[in-house]
Amino acid sequence: MDTTTVAIIILVISFIAMLVLRFPVALCLAGSTIFTLMYLNVPLEVIGQRMIQGVNSYALLTIPFFILAGQIMGEGGLALRLVNFALLIVGRIRGGLAMVNCVACLFFGNISGSAAADVSSIGSIMIPMMKKKGYSTEFSVGLTTSAAIQGVVVPPSHNLILYSLAAGGTSISALFLAGVVPGVILCIALMIASYFMAIRKGFTQKHVVAREDVSKVLKDGILAIMPAFIILGGIFSGWFTASESGAIACLYAFIVTFFVYREIPLSRMWTILKRTLRTVSMVLFLIAASNAFGWLLAYLKIPALVTDTLLQISHNPIIILLIINILLLILGSPMDMAPLILIMTPILLPVVTALGMDPVHFGIIMMLNLGIGLLTPPVGTVLFIGCAIGKVSIGQGARAMAPFALVLVAVLMLLTYIPQLSMWLPGLMNH
């Protein structure tokens, strides 16, 4: 075997071995890169240079801003206000509490940008509320975990920012705009599915907001979703960039949480900052390690090899995109979302661009694809959190989630083969 083939084998085997031994993914990326470079006799200074280059980006400012804004609003009673606001909109419908779950998850995803935060915050309110109103625990958990996946698609998804970096600087603003219509489609599809399933199972209770509470719920709801309008409105208008909108959203979240809602003391801000710093540190280390790993992939010409292999199977874009979707769904089961974005984007992006697909469109497909992976064991982070909140087994939660997962897959196919659904808004805004 030639040197390149042996190096690829070392890279793959060392990465998988460290993953099986339960090393953190960032260390798996860095370690396998070091082993391979040692075999190739490439100076190890390269990995340090590439890691530093990976985090030396102005666009990375977007991540801590949005994480901090989400942490502040999540800590300050945002989730309950969004649930009440959703009740005001669709609570009057038969089985409407299930639809409220979908709407509340969409709203919270517009603030947190994280599916895990979505299911933690909304799930802790909606699952007990649905159980109290006669919905089964399994149905409540299955719906909540599935609806939380909206958070990885709609802005300000942290994962869209990671994809932008991994894709070589694809516009974050364009990705945020591209996620709006798919997020609405996801919400509508889940609402329709949850409505018919709730009716079939006999969960027909209505939940009407008292007339005297309407004005307060409306005011609190508008204040709660305002960060989403700040982010999207600023990008739409061109008044500020994604990073600047994140900073403004942080300031807004701080004022509303501590001076309007006033449910937590100002001293809690120190805890929020520490939690944000811990999260950002992990994300930045992962980005740094993946940048070195991605450079090695390019050095070994692995993306070109994958492109040639897939194009040898078929030149039909429909077949190639189906294969890529299946591959990502399979990989999303044993691995977490963020490292997969950073690993697979440099490999698969050349394939889809060779087929004429826009990188922004592919970003939305990848987000939803890997988001579905958050629902599937053995990793299944979102599923595990939902089951823990609902106090059901992973098996029960997975069975209840399965029908909604099929809805997510159907929407994934729709977004894959109808690019206008993702590209219409960025095209309209000339991004």
What pLDDT digit, counting tens, does each position of 155-175 carry?
888 889 889 988 887 888 889
Token digits of residue 104:
């509340």
The sign of the dihedral angle between the CA atoms of 248, 250, 255, 260 is positive
- Distance between CA atoms of 196 and 208, rounded to whole angstroms? 20
Identify the band that residue 431 occupies on the pLDDT scale cut at 50, 70 and 90: low
Identify the band that residue 365 occupies on the pLDDT scale cut at 50, 70 and 90: very high
Instruction: Report the pLDDT value the prediction gives residue 252, as an integer from 0 to 100.
Output: 84
pTM: 0.85
Q: What CA–CA distances, in Å, run from 70 to 76, 216, 349?
A: 10, 22, 30
- Distance between CA atoms of 418 and 364, rounded to whole angstroms? 12
Q: pLDDT tens for residues 230-260?
A: 777 777 777 777 778 778 888 888 888 888 8
Q: Are 177 and 235 in contact (CB under 8 A)?
A: yes
Q: Taking 70 as the threshold, does the pLDDT of residue 419 lie above it?
A: yes
Identify the band that residue 366 occupies on the pLDDT scale cut at 50, 70 and 90: very high
Short-list 345, 362, 412, CA closest to 174:
362
Helix (H, G, I), strand (E, B) or coil at 391: coil
Instruction: Report the pLDDT value the prediction gives residue 425, as an integer from 0 to 100.
Output: 86
Q: Which of 386-395, 400-409, 410-419 bottoms out in mean pLDDT, i.e. has the lowest?
A: 386-395
Identify the band that residue 413 occupies on the pLDDT scale cut at 50, 70 and 90: very high
Burial class of residue 173 in the structure, from the number of CB atoms within 10 Å of its CB (0-12 exposed, 13-18 middle, 19+ buried):
buried
Q: What are the start-end ranges of the H helices in 113-241?
A: 115-132, 137-147, 158-166, 172-178, 180-200, 214-237
Q: Taking 60 as the threshold, does the pLDDT of residue 339 lie above it?
A: yes
Give the chain's count of helices (H) and strands (E). Answer: 21, 0
- Distance between CA atoms of 126 and 83, rounded to whole angstroms? 8
Instruction: Report the pLDDT value the prediction gives residue 205, as an integer from 0 to 100.
Output: 67
Instruction: Report the pLDDT value the prediction gives residue 364, as an integer from 0 to 100.
Output: 95
Amino acid at site 66:
F
| 316: region left, alpha or beta (phi > 0 left; psi from -120 to 50 alpha) | beta
Of residues 186 and 200, more confidence is placed in 186
Average pLDDT over residues 92-111: 80
Enumerate residues 6+ apart whose C-beta is below 8 A from 51: 30, 288, 289, 291, 292
Instruction: Report the pLDDT value the prediction gives residue 128, as an integer from 0 to 100.
Output: 86
Q: Taking 70 as the threshold, does the pLDDT of residue 62 lie above it?
A: yes
